[in-house]
Copies of this chain bind each other. A is one copy, B any other.
């Protein structure tokens, strides 16, 4: 589960109490109940940590089956990428915390690799889908959105060009209202919102488009 928090892309991790990997950080999750869907299962396990309504997007990453990924046991795991808007602040149990994705603590199992795979998937999808909606509040200014994209992508993003790309692609729409400037002045910023809050591809054919 990823979120931009304090201007940094973070992942929710849970500190393991028991062996194996006692004291190391792990992704939330757990066993599948009979007859349960993978998605239902991850939502159920997450609900213990976070209110599920806060989840703005959830998608499957992959299934890992290497026999040595869990010591002394052969165990399959299907990983999911979950996103939470930056303005959500779920109350957390004591043994969980948001860790910067680019400075992970020692993790249990292959969870470090899974987090990086999730980060990479998010970065890719920010380029060619409307995935930003899942990180952003309901309405926002372009500079707020620039900061979110910057944190998620790991490099500076120009507000000017971000605005133009997302407006050209019809991903954003103006709400009509504005945000009052802070005490240091400045022009009031217009508020925007994502036209859709469901994942959609916005830049389908990079090349080799079908002919007219």
A-side interface residues toward B, CB under 8 Å?
32, 34-39, 60, 62-63, 65-67, 74, 76, 78, 126-128, 149, 153, 155-158, 161-162, 165, 203, 205-208, 210-211
Contacts and interface: CB of A to CB of B under 8 A. Distances in A.
Given A74-B35, A127-B205, A206-B128, A155 B65 contact: no
Contact of A156 (B63, B67, B165, B211): B211
Contacts of A36: 65, 67
Given A60-B62, A156-B210, A161-B208, 16 more contacts: A35-B74, A36-B65, A37-B65, A38-B63, A38-B65, A38-B76, A39-B65, A60-B63, A62-B63, A127-B206, A153-B210, A156-B211, A157-B208, A158-B211, A165-B207, A203-B206
Nearest to A154: B210
A72 to B, nearest CB: 12
